[in-house]
């Protein structure tokens, strides 16, 4: 399988200069809708996992403590520049989503936008999100998912060999992943391209 952590770091370093041109406008409404599902409170400690260039920042409350990670140093640099331009206080770090260095139960909200379909091991990423979330914390996910009630067919799996190498996995299923990761799904909302892109809000079981 070509989808590895090392390959993702290299390719997103290459994508960084053009990422906003591709992703900013296309996912604006989906990001806003996903983050609107979170039950926000002042002072929350929030982690953006796989934050990229920081396209979620305009849709986040200002009265929160904000942390963000990304695998690519080029993405982290652009993330920091966007936070500065928006006047946001942000602690940004280069970090693998499958190996977070934060303590257990540290965050009130973990946001995972457009990362579960990219990670080589999404189960490991969800395990880390579960670990760093407080017991009453919230997981905010937005991504593309195969329908939960049927696995991907042969043609889709064959196409996935290409798409997972250059862009994203197209065979992953949201509910099986989140429930196996120890989460209870509270909201599940289609946000783009019919039901292909979904926004889910979940809590640790």
pLDDT given at position 175: 97
Mean pLDDT of 144-173: 77
Angstrom distance (rounded) from CA 159 to CA 164? 9
Measuring CA to CA, which residue among 158, 164, 172, 150 is closest to residue 11?
A: 164
Give 166's pLDDT tier (boundaries 50, 70, 90). low
pLDDT given at position 1: 47
pLDDT given at position 159: 64
Give 162's pLDDT tier (boundaries 50, 70, 90). low
Q: Where are the beta strands (DSSP E) in the chain?
A: 45-49, 65-70, 91-94, 107-113, 133-144, 183-192, 197-204
Measuring CA to CA, which residue among 191, 164, 186, 162 is closest to residue 175?
A: 186
Asked if 72 contacts 51 with a C-beta cutoff of 8 angstroms, the reply is no
Domain ranges in the chain? 5-204
Mean pLDDT of 1-12: 79
Measuring CA to CA, which residue among 186, 203, 188 is closest to residue 142?
A: 188
Mean pLDDT is lowest, of 77-81, 143-147, 201-205, for 143-147
For the stretch 109-129, pLDDT in tens is: 999 999 999 999 999 999 999
Query: What's the pTM value of the predicted model, to 2 decimals?
Result: 0.92
| Helices and strands of the chain, counted as H and E runs | 6, 7
Angstrom distance (rounded) from CA 26 to CA 16? 16
Angstrom distance (rounded) from CA 47 to CA 68? 5
- Residue 15: count other Cβ atoms within 10 Å of its Cβ: 18
Query: According to CATH, what is the number of the domain 5-204?
Result: 3.40.50.150
To 5 degrees, how large is the angle CA 66–CA 131–CA 43? 30
């Amino acid at each position: 399988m070509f989808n590895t952590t090392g390959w993702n770091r290299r390719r997103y370093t290459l994508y960084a200069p053009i990422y906003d041109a591709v992703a900013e406008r296309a996912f604006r409404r989906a990001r806003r809708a996903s983050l609107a599902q979170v039950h926000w409170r002042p002072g929350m400690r929030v982690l953006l996992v796989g934050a990229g260039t920081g396209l979620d920042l305009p849709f986040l409350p200002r009265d929160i403590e904000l942390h963000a990670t990304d695998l690519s140093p080029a993405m982290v640099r652009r993330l920091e520049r966007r936070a500065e331009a928006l006047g946001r206080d942000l602690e940004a770090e280069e970090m693998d989503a499958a190996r977070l260095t934060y303590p257990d139960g540290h965050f009130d909200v973990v946001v995972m936008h457009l990362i579960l379909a990219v990670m080589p091991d999404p189960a490991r990423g969800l395990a880390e999100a579960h670990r760093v979330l407080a017991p009453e914390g919230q997981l905010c996910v937005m991504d593309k998912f195969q329908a939960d009630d049927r696995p991907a067919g042969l043609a889709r799996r064959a196409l996935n060999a290409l798409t997972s190498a250059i862009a994203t996995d197209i065979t992953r299923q949201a509910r099986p992943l989140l429930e196996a990761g120890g989460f209870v799904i509270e909201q599940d909302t289609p946000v783009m391209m019919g039901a292909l892109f979904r926004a889910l809000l979940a809590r640790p079981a």
